[in-house]
Chain A
């Protein structure tokens, strides 16, 4: 609470602050509405018949609600299948990113070797490299290795592009942890790997959470690589369901909206439940940067 000056205020001031607070709440509500209303519009018309979209109404009360649109989304939109793929691929990728980033950060920050700075900067360079510049060459490479149509075709680039930012956050955080505990463990004869995973890892929890959250959001919602590298439906991820479905049901806008709602739902639900942690994680990541 930002009640800065509790002691020294005149009553007139208090009233003024209450008034300004009301104004602030109104303003914020307007912005909040701007952030959510499009989604509400989406949800509303996802339960309508497609031609009701042309009715010049801002919102309608769908009667009867066309649950059939969601049925189509779940079956022809293949949402469950894509959802599972998204879960598996994203989780594996994020897991790898975290583990590998911790390992690399430790090597860059704690281990002593001449090229440590060089390689650290090389990896950080990756933050600036645009993904789309690698779409084509990677596709060819995956093709000649027969990896298209395998989850590896996504996991490899996802991990590769997730590492720079993760390493950045991890190494920044690691640099601020005192070396004392590790030193004593080394003297006691512990192996480096035990130190990294049993001691350093737990201390890095805030950074790890930040990395998990930011990586999860960007990988879960990633679209263009999934569209380019995967040739068949087997491993396609959730964002693709919207894109694919639009082709099949090109005239049925309401059904398309239903797919979009279903595609947005998992992220929304997780976000609402874990909201506090997510916000903290993003903020922490930004502050380090």
Chain B
């Protein structure tokens, strides 16, 4: 029986189909990018190998790349300090509401997550439109005309407009994850707390919070990693503009490839981008594991 479990042929047959897909469309392209990133290819015609010049340029001499990372950081921070507390709060109160209303609200909150990002983005472009958009119309209706803006064109606020949409969409996921954490807290603990005379806030701090820590970390990790990877909302709403005030790395690399035709350079950006994502993820895992270990002791 043990021999069965070591049978190399069977192992091969089990993993190779999946691995072939994975290597072909995930790993192999990265290798290709490393190669092309070392050239000065403009997409057309011949090219020369330029070694690591492109990679160095991306890391040291590319203002837009750095700005994109900064925007991703802004999105991540805002998501964690604005969207998450709100999601957690609603997870708690929906849990308290109970019954059919609970199911109903839970269902509704998640609706933006099931709709295609193309529809969401184009819809919000419409909402943000300074001439006919829903947002300015509502402000007009509430006699707050002074607050009307060119939401996606005013470079001071464009980033926040985009960030809001991304948070609006992600709210459903964050909410569900916190909700599952809240549901996992045994009721007896709350009862014990009440008997001990603990108030609502104290119960939250000492019972709920410690027990949902793993879920918090899942959500935070997801927020940070997905902030880095944003592309479609930017592409569809602002394409990084005005200027590069709403640029994110994935979209920037798409523009460098297809608009500026800097094919070699774009591949270099790709590779650096992948490395950054990997580093961030590994760091987060480390922190998480340390925390867990810290809690356990």
Direct contact of A and B (CB under 8 A): yes
Are the C-beta atoms of B115 and A112 separated by less than 8 Å? no
Determine the chain B residues whose CB is within 8 A of the CB of A136 once the complex forms: 29, 33, 257, 263, 266-267, 270
Are the C-beta atoms of B10 and A129 separated by less than 8 Å? no
* Interface 1/0 per residue, B171-207 and A, CB below 8 Å: 1110011011100100100110011000000000000
Q: List 12 A-B contacts (CB under 8 A).
A: A8-B195, A58-B137, A103-B17, A131-B231, A141-B32, A183-B1, A192-B7, A221-B117, A224-B254, A263-B116, A271-B114, A272-B107
A226–B97 alpha-carbon span in the complex (Å): 42
Determine the chain B residues whose CB is within 8 A of the CB of A27 once the complex forms: 90, 93
Selected interface stretch from A64-72, A73-81, A203-211, A235-243: A235-243
Cβ of A180 within 8 Å of any chain B Cβ, yes or no, is no
Cβ of A1 within 8 Å of any chain B Cβ, yes or no, is yes
Q: Do A221 and B116 contact each other (CB < 8 Å), given the known contacts A129-B277, A196-B14?
A: yes
Cβ of B158 within 8 Å of any chain A Cβ, yes or no, is no
Are the C-beta atoms of A283 and B225 separated by less than 8 Å? no
Determine the chain B residues whose CB is within 8 A of the CB of A156 once the complex forms: 21, 24-25
CB distance from B92 to the nearest CB of A (A): 9
A positions within 8 Å CB-CB of B:
1-5, 8, 20-21, 24-25, 27-28, 31-32, 34-36, 38-39, 41-42, 53-54, 56-58, 96, 100-101, 103-104, 106-108, 110-113, 119, 123, 125-138, 140-141, 156-157, 159-161, 163-164, 167, 183, 186-187, 192-193, 196, 217, 220-221, 223-224, 238-240, 242-243, 246, 253, 256-257, 260, 263-264, 267-268, 270-272, 275-276, 278-279, 282-283, 286-287, 289
Are the C-beta atoms of A264 and B115 separated by less than 8 Å? yes
B positions within 8 Å CB-CB of A:
1-2, 4-8, 10-11, 14-15, 17-19, 21-22, 24-30, 32-33, 36, 90, 93-99, 101, 103, 105-119, 122-124, 126-127, 131-132, 134, 137-138, 140-141, 168, 171-173, 176-177, 179-181, 184, 187, 190-191, 194-195, 215, 218, 225, 228-229, 231-232, 235-236, 250-251, 253-254, 257, 263, 266-267, 270-271, 273-274, 277-278, 281
Which residue of chain B has its CB nearest to the CB of A159?
Answer: B21
A108–B93 alpha-carbon span in the complex (Å): 41
Are the C-beta atoms of B5 and A161 separated by less than 8 Å? no
Q: Do A1 and B25 contact each other (CB < 8 Å), given the known contacts A58-B141, A107-B15, A186-B1?
A: no
Q: Assuming A5-B194, A129-B30, what are 10 further A-B pairs, CB within 8 angstroms? A: A38-B127, A111-B7, A132-B231, A141-B32, A156-B24, A160-B24, A196-B14, A240-B118, A242-B118, A289-B218
Majority-rule SS of B interface residues: helix
Which residue of chain B has its CB nearest to the CB of A44?
Answer: B134
Are the C-beta atoms of B107 and A137 separated by less than 8 Å? no
Q: Do A286 and B180 contact each other (CB < 8 Å), given the known contacts A31-B90, A112-B6, A133-B273?
A: yes
Which residue of chain B has its CB nearest to the CB of A238?
Answer: B116
A267–B36 alpha-carbon span in the complex (Å): 39
Most buried by A among B11, B171, B195: B11
Determine the chain B residues whose CB is within 8 A of the CB of A263 once the complex forms: 116, 118-119
Are the C-beta atoms of B254 and A135 separated by less than 8 Å? yes
Q: Do A275 and B15 contact each other (CB < 8 Å), given the known contacts A41-B134, A267-B116?
A: no
Determine the chain B residues whose CB is within 8 A of the CB of A31 once the complex forms: 90, 105, 109
A123–B11 alpha-carbon span in the complex (Å): 15
A144–B201 alpha-carbon span in the complex (Å): 62
Of the candidates B94, B105, B137, B253, the one whose C-beta lies within 8 Å of that of A133 is B253
A157–B10 alpha-carbon span in the complex (Å): 25
Of the candidates B176, B190, B254, the one whose C-beta lies within 8 Å of that of A282 is B176
Which residue of chain A has its CB nearest to the CB of B17?
Answer: A100
Determine the chain A residues whose CB is within 8 A of the CB of B119 once the complex forms: 239, 242, 260, 263-264
Determine the chain A residues whose CB is within 8 A of the CB of B123 once the complex forms: 38-39, 42, 260
Determine the chain A residues whose CB is within 8 A of the CB of B168 once the complex forms: 34-35
